[in-house]
Amino acid sequence: MTRVLLVEDEPAIADALVYALQTDRFVVTHALTGNDALLLLGGQAFDFVILDVGLPDMTGFDVCRKLREFSTMPVLFLTARDGEIDRILGLEIGGDDYVTKPFSPREITARVRAILRRGSTMEMKATAPVAAKSLQPLQHDAVAMRIHCHGICLDLTAHEYKLLLVLLENQGRVFTRDQLLEKAWYDPGAVTDRTVDAHIKTVRAKLRHAAAGAEDLIQTRRGLGYVLVMD
C-alpha cells in the first residue's frame, strides 16, 4: 500500500489524478494548499508527494524546502512552466522528478512507480542530487546562466557571474586584473582593478558558502592576477 499526498489546487487536474492513482491502487490524500500539505506531512505518514509548483499560498518549491527539513520522501513536481530554471531549481531543492502540464494522469502514475522503483532515494538524497551527476566541482548552466558549485546554485550578481565564468571557461589560465575587467565588465573604464579584487572576494565567499574549501578553486598569483584551478 503506497500512500500518496497530492497537492494541487486545480480541481479538474486533481480529480483526474486522484482517480488515476486510486485506479492504480495508490491510497491518495488530496490537499489544495501548501499549508494544508505541510500540516498533513507533519502529522501523517506518506510514501510519496506529488506537488504542484503553482499553489495559492506558496510555491511547491517552498513546500519541498520545508519538507526536506524533516523528510526525504520522494517528490514529483507538477509544473506549468517548461523552464530549465524550474527544473534545476526543483532538483536542487530535493525534488526527484518533474512533469510539465499538460500531462496525462497515466504519465504521472508511471512516473511515481518509476521513482519508487528507483528506491534508494534516501541514500541519494544524503548527497547533493545534482552533484552526484557531475564530477567537476563547478558546472555552468548556459541556458539558465547559472553556475553550480557541488550541485548548489550560486547566487551571483551579474558581474560575479561573468567574472567566474571567464575564469571557469579558461581554467588554468592566469588573468591580470585588467584582463578580467575587460572581459567581465561592460564599461571597464568606469571601475578600478580594486573592483576585481572586491568581486573575487565576494565570489570566494559564495563558493565557500556552497562548499567548504571551494573558495580555493580561485587562486591568487601574486603580482600577476587570478586563475581557476579544478584539479
Residues forming contacts to Ca ion in the complex (CB under 5 A) are 9, 52, 54
Residue nearer to Ca ion on the CB measure, 33 or 179: 33
Distance between CA atoms of residues 112 and 109, nearest Å: 5
Residue nearer to Ca ion on the CB measure, 38 or 153: 38
Q: Report, in this order, helix, strand and coil percent for the chain, each rounded to 5.
A: 45, 20, 35
CA-based torsion, 195, 201, 204, 210: positive or negative: negative
| Shortest Å, Cβ 149 to Ca ion | 32
Burial class (CB in 10 A: 0-12, 13-18, 19+), 111: middle
Residue nearer to Ca ion on the CB measure, 54 or 105: 54
Distance between CA atoms of residues 165 and 185, nearest Å: 12
Distance between CA atoms of residues 133 and 32, nearest Å: 34
Contact 184, 161 (CB under 8 A): no
| Shortest Å, Cβ 10 to Ca ion | 5
| Shortest Å, Cβ 14 to Ca ion | 9
Residue nearer to Ca ion on the CB measure, 52 or 96: 52
Residue 93 CA: distances (Å) to CA of 83, 119, 151, 190: 16, 19, 10, 38
| Shortest Å, Cβ 80 to Ca ion | 7
* Position of minimal CB gap to Ca ion: 54
Distance between CA atoms of residues 204 and 138, nearest Å: 13
Residue nearer to Ca ion on the CB measure, 32 or 67: 32
| Shortest Å, Cβ 54 to Ca ion | 4
| Shortest Å, Cβ 9 to Ca ion | 5
Residue nearer to Ca ion on the CB measure, 6 or 88: 6
Residue nearer to Ca ion on the CB measure, 9 or 62: 9
CA-based torsion, 123, 127, 131, 135: positive or negative: negative
Task: Single out the residue of 106, 35, 101, 91 nearest to residue 66, CA to CA.
Answer: 35
| Shortest Å, Cβ 13 to Ca ion | 8
